[in-house]
Structure 1
Amino acid sequence: MTEIVPDSEHRGLVARLPQRVRDLALLARFDRPVGWWLLFWPGAWGVALAGEAVNRWPLIAWLLAGSIAMRGAGCVYNDVVDRDLDRQVARTRSRPVASGRVSVRAAAIWLAVLLAAGLIVWLQLGWYARVVAIASIAPVAAYPFMKRITWWPQAWLGLVFSWAALVGWSEAWGTLALPGLLLYAGAIAWVIGYDTIYALQDIEDDALVGVRSSARALGGAVRSGVAGFYAAALVLWAAAFWTTRSDPLVLLALLPAAAHLGWQVATLRSADGANALARFRANRTTGLLVFLACVVVGTRL
């Protein structure tokens, strides 16, 4: 049986907050910063691969702020939509909305606050990047419903959680171009891989309540499936690097990230929820390694 890992461990600063404030922080997953790092890194990659990591460091900082706000908003929206399903899953039934500690009305107000913070970040972008960013609204709004209609909601999450790559690239480069699109495509494959790992935590409860996921779809082939998506990500990132600078040496920049992804696959234990959560969280490091590779490739010496 898969070990159940609590959805929130109430550690650090969040654990010291008053109950009401703590519930709002938990609703936005402020206790789990891995989510905003995973949302942020593709945007930072886009800026770095476009050669603007140093000159546009304030843009990277704004993208981080936007990731924190918008990931929080996405979690609030997702929890309101999924509150009935969350009550049926052991890991999620204690979430603030599912448990009744936060009302839907209060959650909606909190969502508006987080969206306002995201709007401030959006206004820091040029008009072209603003249009690219706002085009993500419809896919983001549709995401919570994907687990009800497809076995691959992780693929839809890949579309929306990688969108920052398009925003970062278009803001730094001035327009969308092939390297930025390839970077985005690679990020989609990466997200499918790591979110399949994440979905292993709920695979038994998901089967009972009828929630679909790539982890359930892959069954006993989860490890090879994740390996395939990670391999696709590396190939697409390599193509993005090559179209940025056609020098075989630039491909060496991806070796640390490739080794880290290989370690995740080799050490993944699908029946161990704690192991799956740890491998999922390890993708913060993957994001950093790809960012450093993008800096190397994008910097013109």
Structure 2
Amino acid sequence: MSEIMEGYADLHTHTRASDGTGTPSDNVRLAAAAGLSAVSITDHDTVAGLEEALEAGRAAGITVVPGVEISSSENGKDIHVLGYYMDVADPLFLSRLEELRNVREGRNERMLERLRELGYAITLEEVLERRGPVEHKDTTVGRPHIAQVLVDKGYAESQQDAFNRLIGENGAAFISPKRISPETAIAWIHEAGGAAVLAHPGLYGNDTLVERLAGTGLDGIEADHSDHSPEEVEKYREITRRYGLVATAGSDYHGERGGEVFHGPLGGRRVEAAVLPLLQERAENRSGGMSK
């Protein structure tokens, strides 16, 4: 196990390699400005931003934790699993992430079709234009990109309004594609030599699921998240204690769109960096331990 680290870490941030607004270097700069000693880049179903982030981290003296946020689902509800310290060059893992991105692309196309059927004139080309420049082919397009076009065209007052009425889970144009199970997401992370952490459990409204996964393969739970109440933070910390898991924290920072910071500011939720060696140890112990 590596030497215990000092300081604090934000273990859940996004860049424009998925649906964030800043570059990986921007996130490292913001981590330094927030007084963090470590930050993780956890883009949706891609590790495309990690190389830039690692280089920026070395230059800034900030530890960058290799991460990813894998999309899975159960009973039509999106469940996200964070992976840390995977072998991000593993061909099998990269091909699996590509599968997930293909599912996401199909979801986006169907959601845009549904929006047009409802009278909202919005195209994929507009969404891609709003995303802006990309530095790597393995980037993803997410609902925040669609939400911003809806705002720009006057169809929604804000990103939150777009999610609430149109593209969130209770929205008129929401599409839930067939995704892998959370257990499969955990297995894929383990097989790539990583540690698996359940993202923002308070958003699922299903603590039975949280406890099931806690007892059947998870290495940690993101107890402290920008959308968690103090009571939820303590509840999920208690679950990690009961199951012997690692409690993590993350802002889920996506950047700023139209003056709105999506989820929370980078560094707004943080955990002691001493948890990083615990996650590394979990990753080493889990590596190769599960099948597809």
TM-score (normalised: structure 1) = 0.33
Q: Please identify which structure carries the higher helix content.
A: 1
Larger Rg belongs to = 1
Q: Please identify which structure carries the higher strand content.
A: 2
TM-score (normalised: structure 2) = 0.33
